[in-house]
A and B are shown apart, each in its own frame.
Chain A
Amino acid sequence: GQNIDQPTEMTATEGAIVQINCTYQTSGFNGLFWYQQHAGEAPTFLSYNVLDGLEEKGRFSSFLSRSKGYSYLLLKELQMKDSASYLCAVRAYLTTYSGNTPLVFGKGTRLSVIA
Chain B
Amino acid sequence: DTEVTQTPKHLVMGMTNKKSLKCEQHMGHRAMYWYKQKAKKPPELMFVYSYEKLSINESVPSRFSPECPNSSLLNLHLHALQPEDSALYLCASSQVRENEQYFGPGTRLTVT
- The contact of A98 among B44, B51, B101, B105, by CB within 8 Å, is B51
Expressed in whole angstroms, the Cα–Cα distance for A91 and B100 within the complex equals 10
Which residues of chain A are near B100, meaning CB under 8 Å? 33, 45, 48
Whether A100 lies near B42 (C-beta < 8 A) is no
Expressed in whole angstroms, the Cα–Cα distance for A107 and B56 within the complex equals 21
Q: Does A67 contact B (CB under 8 A)?
A: no
Which residues of chain B are near A87, meaning CB under 8 Å? 42-43
Whether B45 lies near A102 (C-beta < 8 A) is yes
Number of contacting residues on A, CB 8 A?
Answer: 27
Which residues of chain B are near A97, meaning CB under 8 Å? 55
Q: Which residue from chain B places its CB closest to the CB of A33 in the assembled complex?
A: B99
Whether B55 lies near A96 (C-beta < 8 A) is yes
Q: Does A94 contact B (CB under 8 A)?
A: yes
Q: Does A42 contact B (CB under 8 A)?
A: yes
Interface residues of A in 87-115 (CB under 8 A from B): 87, 89, 91, 94, 96-100, 102-108, 110
Q: Which residue from chain A places its CB closest to the CB of B42 in the assembled complex?
A: A105
Expressed in whole angstroms, the Cα–Cα distance for A104 and B58 within the complex equals 12
Question: What's the nearest-Cβ distance from chain B to residue A9, in Å?
Answer: 10
Which residues of chain B are near A98, meaning CB under 8 Å? 48, 50-51, 53, 55, 96
Tell me the A residues contacting B by CB distance below 8 Å.
31, 33, 40-45, 48, 50, 87, 89, 91, 94, 96-100, 102-108, 110
